[in-house]
Amino acid sequence: MSSFLKEIDNDWCLFLDRDGVINKRIFGGYIRRWEEFEFLPGVKDALNTFSKVFKYIFIITNQQGIGKSLMSADALERIHTKMIAEIVESGGRITKVYYCPDLAINPNNCRKPSPYMAEKTKQDFPELDFNKSVFIGDSVSDILFAKNTGMYSVLHDSPEKVQIDADMMVGSLIEFANILKTRYKVI
């Protein structure tokens, strides 16, 4: 088990990828409407637990569907508003969602693994410490984002069976929440 888990307390921050971690990912497509958004099993319960542990909980997500004109920024904001409302209704919280609408083919974009969105969180929340932060994601770019910012990386299982060296691997958010609850008694 990863030793950093023993250090987690209420000064720590949690960063989460969205598609494939919080909600079911549409492979080869984009979630463009709330009706297409489906929470993964146990996510709301996990976020309830995380809300008792972490000072801040951020979502960091690449959303090039906007850059491809498949959806608008307003449509994405509506999805995030409804997502957060359901999370809050279940006893969880999200501090803020950061997204990058840039196309992957554009050089110098803000997409993960670029640290751009982490830098934005630091501007908005100057007291946060990336060395006391955990990022949970399901892709190579997510784990590289964590490494590029000095965060601990947790690889969430995905159908793509990503192969990259992360600080820890979990099958789901609820698995990570249960580890925090039972093994390390941080709640």
Q: Which residues are catalytic?
A: 17, 19
Cis status, amide bond into 113, omega within 30 of 0:
yes
**Alpha helices (H) along the chain:** 43-53, 64-67, 73-89, 116-124, 140-149, 173-178
Q: Give one word for 164, left, alpha or beta, with left for phi > 0 and alpha for psi -120 to 50.
A: beta
Distance CA 44, CA 51 (A): 10
Distance CA 91, CA 50 (A): 10
Question: How many CA atoms does the CB half-sphere of 78 hold within 13 Å?
Answer: 11
Distance CA 142, CA 59 (A): 12
Q: Kindly report the length of the chain.
A: 187
Within 10 angstroms of residue 9's Cβ, the number of other Cβ atoms is: 11
